[in-house]
């Protein structure tokens, strides 16, 4: 079944989501590589093929090794490849993306706050929220990945 091209069907909605995406990619103090790492992990959890494809390519373009990239889904078992800040961001991304299960626990919040501080943690959470919203649009409207057969 073909589904609506959501950004054409609701250009104002697409613009609003685009404004948030622009803020989290250009308007925070978070490094671009960290933002794309979080985007990738959130997209993996949500099963958004389009976004997984995009953010995998973004991380490769920024110089992430294939060895590290393929272990993002199991980062907790390969912590030696990730910085403390990356581990904290990935843990918080999982906590917030699975909020219906985790309820953003006090322990997880305290751990993330200890690494990021208030401003960066709010910006990181906005980054996670933005990608969750985009993933929901991508999955719901079956956006295709760029990958070719």
Q: What is the pLDDT of residues 81-125, one digit of tens each?
A: 999 999 999 999 999 999 999 999 999 999 999 999 999 999 999
- The DSSP call for residue 76 is G
Task: Provide the pLDDT for residue 111.
Answer: 98
pTM of the model: 0.95
Task: Provide the pLDDT for residue 56.
Answer: 97
With contact defined as beta carbons under 8 Å apart, do 81 and 71 qualify?
yes
With contact defined as beta carbons under 8 Å apart, do 51 and 135 qualify?
yes
Q: With CA atoms as reference, report the closest residue to 42 among 111, 91, 102, 83.
A: 91
Q: 63 pLDDT exceeds 90?
A: yes
**Can you tell me the distance from the alpha carbon of 105 to that of 42, in angstroms, rounded to the nearest whole number?**
18
What is the rounded average pLDDT of the residues 123-139? 97
Lowest-confidence range among 24-33, 36-45, 140-149? 140-149
Task: Provide the pLDDT for residue 147.
Answer: 86
Q: 1 pLDDT exceeds 90?
A: no
Task: Provide the pLDDT for residue 9.
Answer: 94
Burial of residue 49 (number of CB atoms within 10 Å: 0-12, 13-18, 19+): middle
Task: Provide the pLDDT for residue 75.
Answer: 98
The dihedrals phi and psi of 114, each to the nearest 5 degrees, come to -65, -30
């Amino acid at each position: 079944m073909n589904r609506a091209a959501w950004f054409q069907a609701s250009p104002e909605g697409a613009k609003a989501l685009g404004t948030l995406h622009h803020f989290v990619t250009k308007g925070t103090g978070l490094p671009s590589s960290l933002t794309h790492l979080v985007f990738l992990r959130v997209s993996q959890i949500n099963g958004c093929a389009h976004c997984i494809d995009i953010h995998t390519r973004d991380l490769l373009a920024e110089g992430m090794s294939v060895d590290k990239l393929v272990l993002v889904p199991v980062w907790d078992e390969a912590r030696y490849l990730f910085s403390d800040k990356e581990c904290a961001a990935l843990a918080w991304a999982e906590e917030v993306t699975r909020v219906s299960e985790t309820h953003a626990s006090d322990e997880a919040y305290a751990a993330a706050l200890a690494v990021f501080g208030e401003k960066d943690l709010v910006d990181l959470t906005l980054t996670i929220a933005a990608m969750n919203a985009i993933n929901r649009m991508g999955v719901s409207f079956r956006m295709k990945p760029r990958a070719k057969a």
